[in-house]
Structure 1
Amino acid sequence: MIKAFLLDDQDTNISVLKSQLTRYFPQVSLCGTATDSADAIPQIVAQRPDLLFLDIYMPGIDAFELLHRLEEHVPPELVFVTAYSEYALKAFEHQASGYLTKPVDAARLVLTVSKILERIQQRQALVRQEAGKVFASGEKKLALATQKGWVFVAQEAILYCESSGNYTTFFLNEGRQILVSRQIGTFEQLLPQQSFLRIHDRYIVNLKYICSYQRGSGGMLVLENGKELPVSVRRKEQLLQYFK
């Protein structure tokens, strides 16, 4: 099932959109709704929806400020649903997957969501495929698809991963770097949680290479090779629990 979250300041609009999704897309499961951005933030963080429908004008903060406050918790697929067509350019600057104007045309909704579901399913298939390539032969290795072909990397050799949009760079303990055309969230699911931790929207770190932690708003991790990595405020408590 694909998890979707609906955010609109009018209950009527939520009901209409919910009805359309139920009718045309039984594979979409509604994991939450909200009529206020402040109420939506903790729900989105907790539920981690695959798809977020959001109105632009909301009480308190608008959709763009909402996305800013969500930081690394922004869902991978965003559809703006609004009565104002002039915000389309700004929406796509925020990597919107679709832009629907009210009242929502059913045919346009079906076209938009169908393309999104195809992308989501492709990503899920890729995760399953790459998970199958994580194998044990004395040590666990991760198969990384590069421009030149597949590189098999021992998990213990990974110092940390750094995100750059749709790309992830693996930094290895031998000094080598490997650039992969995959978002870092893919590898957050693949790497074992007992050894690797997402400390920031840009970084996953191998816990065995942590040398020290410097206090701060989020703080800073220092690895054995001297590399300093920032810890986001949202991730700090999880990291401190690991230390305890």
Structure 2
Amino acid sequence: MLSALVIDDELFAREELTELLEETGRISVVGQASNAIEGLKKINQLKPDVVFLDIHMPQVSGIELLGMLDPDIQTRVVFVTAYDQFAVQAFEENAFDYLLKPVDTKRLDVTVQRLLKSEQKTLQQYEAISPPSLDQVPCVGLNRIVIVPTKDIEFAYSDISGVHVQTSEQAATSQLTLKILEEKTPLVRCHRQYLINIKAIKEIKLLENGLAEIVTCSDHPIPVSRRYLKTLKELLGFH
């Protein structure tokens, strides 16, 4: 029995696919999500064997969500879409499984059999269609969902409660890992727990023992460890 998560912004489509999957007797739907941001959170929490992912969703699309997932997560993805010639062509060229809406039960059976027989795909295999960089970072804060443009982030950091991003005006918590933020945004590592936007640096204070402290444009102090100070100085043009 495979565990599955269904992500679709249309309630009817989500409920219908969930029912069809449960009727196969081979897949247990462990969760649903109505948008990509909620879906990202549930993928990280539930770690399902397979995600049935709607492509066309508001704010953050299914393809954008794919680029936000931690590559260490072992899950397969079945794309779900109303007929889209270009999307379907991309899926077929890269041997990705997909379902067209409305979902046909015979076609779903083929997908389920493939899932049961196939080896676990790694997220690296989806790089052919996932975006190489992120223009926006979905966050939660003050009982609301916030979409933060990447260019507005001054720094990001992790602590026991999660990963947080800070702009000049607000702080919010993200479901993305520091690793993903480092790989897919312009943010640069300056400490094991901190990433910094080079353009947000107002000054760097050199401290004792090879340590340093960044002061951002909005006057936030950010630690810099010895390991990253040289690289940081080189990026700023100091050799």
Bigger relative CO (Cα 8 Å, ≥ 6 apart): 2
TM-score by length of 2: 0.49
TM-score normalised by L of structure 1: 0.48
